[in-house]
Structure formats: C-alpha cells, structure tokens
C-alpha cells in the first residue's frame, strides 16, 4: 500500500504547484473564415488555443516579431495550443484565407 502513496502525493503536490503558477489560456475560434477575436492582449506565458470550427482547413500563422508561429494544416474540428513566452505584437493571419486577420499583443 505504501508504495502507491508516494506517487499519489507527488501528483497532488505537482497539480497544486502548477495551479498556483498557472498562466492564462485564451481561445480563438475560427468560424466562417473569421477569427472570433479581432484584437487580443494576453500576458507573457499565456497560451492561445486556436479552434477550427469551419468545415475546411486553415493554416494560422504570424510573422510578427516575438509572436511568430505557424500551425500548418489545421483540419476541421482541430484545436492547437500555442504558448507565447516572449513579448511582442502584430498580426495573426491564415495562409489559405487572406481576409482572416487578428491583432495579438503579448506583454
Ligand atoms: Cu483559413
């Protein structure tokens, strides 16, 4: 019995620790070839979840300094997490649908 107690305690303490330092999570939905947010400001260390609710593929990316990333092919129904560890700001776009744009600031 005792040998099971240690991992359980470790898991509990680990969960409490990560809860105490938990950074924010924000969700941006892609629907009808639009982002659900036109403009978003988040804190350094926060995570953005991009959720594709369209019936077709998107490729969300940014080339702006500090926030550059690329999700590559994101199929219908898929969610992707991006953690932003650096300060920066700029535009997030979709490589497939040029009309899709939003502004992101990480500070
Ligand atoms: Cu798209």
Nearest-angstrom CA–CA distance, 32 and 30: 7
Specify whether the CB–CB gap between 101 and 30 falls below 8 A. no
Cα(26) to ligand 1 centroid in Å equals 19
Q: Residue 106's pLDDT is what?
A: 97
Cα(21) to ligand 1 centroid in Å equals 33
Q: Residue 102's pLDDT is what?
A: 98
Q: Residue 16's pLDDT is what?
A: 46
Cα(87) to ligand 1 centroid in Å equals 25
Cα(68) to ligand 1 centroid in Å equals 17
Nearest-angstrom CA–CA distance, 68 and 3: 46
Per-residue confidence in pLDDT tens, the chain, 107 aa: 455 544 444 444 444 444 545 689 999 999 999 999 999 999 999 999 999 999 999 999 999 999 999 999 999 999 999 999 999 999 999 999 999 999 999 99
Query: CA angle, 33 as apex, 31 and 36 as ends, to 5°?
Result: 50
Cα(96) to ligand 1 centroid in Å equals 5
Cα(33) to ligand 1 centroid in Å equals 6
Q: Residue 13's pLDDT is what?
A: 46
Query: CA angle, 83 as apex, 90 and 56 as ends, to 5°?
Result: 75
Phi, psi of 67 (to 5 degrees): -120, 15
Q: Residue 23's pLDDT is what?
A: 84
Domains of the chain: 23-106 (2.60.40.420)
């Amino acid at each position: 019995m005792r040998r099971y107690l240690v991992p359980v305690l470790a898991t509990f303490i680990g969960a409490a620790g990560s809860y105490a330092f938990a950074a924010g999570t924000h969700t941006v939905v892609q629907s009808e070839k639009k982002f659900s947010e036109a403009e978003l400001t988040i804190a350094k260390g926060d995570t953005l979840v991009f959720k594709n609710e369209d019936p077709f593929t998107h490729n969300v990316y940014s080339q702006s300094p500090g926030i550059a990333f690329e999700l590559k092919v994101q199929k219908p129904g898929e969610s992707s997490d991006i953690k932003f560890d650096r300060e920066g700001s700029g535009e997030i776009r979709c490589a497939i649908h040029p009309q899709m744009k939003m502004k992101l600031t990480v500070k």
